[in-house]
Amino acid sequence: MNNLTKSVIDLLARLRDWIDARFPLMKTWNEHLAKYYAPKNFNVWYVFGALALLVLVIQILTGIWLTMNYKPSANDAFASVEYIMRDVDWGWWMRYMHSTGASAFFVVIYLHMFRALLYGSYKRPRELLWLSGLAIYLILMGEAFFGYLLPWGQMSYWGAQVIISLFGALPVIGDDLSLWMRGDFVVSDVTLNRFFALHVIAFPLLICGLVGLHIIALHEVGSNNPDGVEIKLHKNADGVPLDGIPFHPYYTVKDIFAAIIFLIIFSVVVFFRRRWAVIFWNTPILSPPTH
Amino acid sequence: MITQSDGIDGGRRRFLTTAATVVGGAGVMAATVPFISAMLPSARTKAIGGAVEVDISGLNPGERAIVEWRGKPVWILRRDDSMLSELAALDSVVSDPQSAKQQQPNYAANQFRSIEPEYLVVIGVCTHLGCSPSYITRNEPHKLGDDWKGVFLCLPWFAV
């Protein structure tokens, strides 16, 4: 290490100490990463939480960029999506990342949930972890539902129509409820506008908040593991679990590896096999509604 | 620091970590390219803001046409004979008669500030603070004095 490198590292260390005296930087880093002990026997089923976080970041980033050119009105929405696909530099990439990401989100979440069922990770003391996860799942379904109307294609329109009618089938409150959801007597520009607001701001905020709670709940009790051994029960003299390893660097590296594998498969779908994601949803978008 | 005596090859570990970080960093840099490019003008924006073709066949000497380009007014002035011959005489009262200051394309860096002396094409916005100057020929009624040869005046209207 030469002198320049040494002085740069020294400068960064002093910056870190300056922040640390004013903000719990190292405390957070240690409690949740470098000295957060996770079971050493995690298998592949344990990567899907981190992958879900990755997909959330992808959706937020590509979503923001789509919002830069998307127009949330019945007259302009479909054309604005075509504009994004054809005229905006890399617009097609933003759109396909976002739509494929939506499908990928559910694939990842189902595998994530399956792990919990497989290993009993919903059991005491992890009930709130499971319940907050279910809440995220429900909100995610809503988020996808609102997002699907936005291109204002035939599938978008009828998909919204069907699902809102589902709510309309509830006894007593059904009709009023669906009127309230639509904001109009039919799915219209009014519905599109509010679904845009819900999809872009309300539900993403809600999801981020719930994910934060979900991770806090996890870190409070610690992860379960494939052998069902509670690692907190057997600690050494320093309070470190005997069957645990620090999350950083072991699981940060392992999760990055999983992310790479995921991104390879994801990229194959985005660039070459959109059909694999599209067939599942039975799009392509047909002509816009004529009304 | 991890040393050789721990049974771990610290040098190899360091190399692998650095190499992976460099490649990963390159990947992250590459991933930012679409996001930054997407914010540049789109194909449609570039088409709308592209060059404008104007038919000046109907423009008579001494007349000025105004055309819009990128939201700005573009003036096309067809100088008449008197304008062309009197241009040099105004050199002493004009701030940059030879267009030496870098505020026009190289092809217009001359005493006419245009490709062809007869046709002046300018963005109709004053270089000072961005007003759009008035167009006052010598023949129309004005209060600018007997030696006003025309044509562009950038002054608040109430000072005229």
The per-residue DSSP string of chain B comes to ---GGGTS-HHHHHHHHHHHHHHHHHHHHHHHHHHHHHTS--HHHHHHTS------TTPPTT-EEEEEETTEEEEEEE--HHHHHHTGGGTTTSS-TT--SSSS-GGG-STTSSSSTTEEEEESS-TTT----EE--SSS--SS-TT----EE-S-GGG-
Instruction: A7-11: list long-range contacts, CB under 8 Å, 24+ apart.
Output: none
List the single range of A21-35, A189-203, A270-284 with lowest mean pLDDT. A270-284
* Residue B69, pLDDT score: 92
Instruction: With CB atoms and an 8 Å threshold, state whether A94 touches B43.
Output: no
Chain segment A103-121, per-residue pLDDT in tens: 999 999 999 999 999 999 9
- Measure in Å the smallest separation between the Cα of B15 and chain A Cα atoms: 13
Which residues of chain B make contact with A61, given a CB cutoff of 8 A? 35
Are the Cβ atoms of A87 and B42 closer than 8 angstroms? yes
Q: Tell me which of B35, B36, B40, B46 to substitute to probe the interface with A (most A C-beta atoms closer than 10 Å).
A: B35
The pLDDT, as a whole number, for residue A282 is 43
B38 to chain A, any CB pair closer than 8 A? The answer is yes
Instruction: State residue A290's pLDDT score.
Output: 54
Q: How far apart are CA B92 and CA A137, in angstroms?
A: 78
How much of chain A exceeds pLDDT 90, in percent? 89
* Interface contact B37-A256, CB threshold 8 A: no
| A85 in contact with B, Cβ within 8 Å | no
pLDDT for position A274:
86
**Which of B14, B44, B45 would best serve as a mutation to test chain A binding (most A beta carbons within 10 A)?**
B44
Q: Is B50 on the interface with A (CB under 8 A)?
A: no
Nearest CA in chain B to A89: B38
Cα–Cα distance measured from residue A146 to residue A134, given in angstroms and rounded to the nearest whole number: 19
Tokens representing B68?
A: 């819009």
Size of interface A-B (CB pairs under 8 A): 34
**A91:B42 CB<8 A:** yes
Interface with B, mutate which of A90, A94, A252 (most B CBs under 10 A): A90
- Place A283 in a pLDDT band, splitting at 50, 70 and 90: very low
Amino acid identity for residue B43 in this structure: A
- Over residues B43-57, the pLDDT tens digits come to 999 998 889 999 999
B38: distance to nearest CA of chain A, Å?
A: 5
Nearest-Cα distance to chain A for B8, in Å, is: 16
Q: What pLDDT sits at residue A85?
A: 95
Residue-level pLDDT at A285: 45
Whole-structure pTM over 0.90, yes or no? no
d(CA B130, CA B148): 23
Q: Say yes or no to pLDDT of A2 above 80.
A: yes
A87: confidence class by pLDDT, cuts 50, 70, 90: very high
State how far the Cα of A162 lies from the Cα of A78, in Å rounded to an integer. 20
Residue of B nearest to A256 (CA): B24
Q: Is B44 on the interface with A (CB under 8 A)?
A: yes
Share of chain A above pLDDT 70, in %: 95
CB contact under 8 A, B43 and A69: no
Is A158 near chain B, with CB under 8 Å? Answer: no
How would you class A46 by CB atoms within 10 Å of its CB: exposed for 0-12, middle for 13-18, buried for 19 or more? Answer: buried
Q: Does residue B150 carry a pLDDT above 90?
A: no
Of the pLDDT bands very low, low, confident and very high (cuts 50, 70, 90), residue A280 is: very low
CA distances from A157 to A161, A163, B16 (A): 6, 10, 52
Residue of A nearest to B35 (CA): A65
Q: What is the ipTM of this complex?
A: 0.83
CA distance B39 to B17: 34
Phi, psi of B27 (to 5 degrees): -60, -40
Structure tokens at A112: 């994530």
| Cα B47 to chain centroid, rounded | 17
Q: Which of A83, A86, A89 sits opposite B38 (nearest CB)?
A: A89
Q: Is the dihedral of CA A258, A259, A263, A264 positive or negative?
A: negative
Amino acid (one-letter) located at A212? G
Q: Does A93 reach chain B within 8 Å, measured CB to CB? A: yes
User: Mean pLDDT across the stretch A253-279?
Assistant: 92
To the nearest whole Å, the CA of A250 is away from the closest chain B CA by 13
Are the Cβ atoms of B24 and A68 closer than 8 angstroms? no
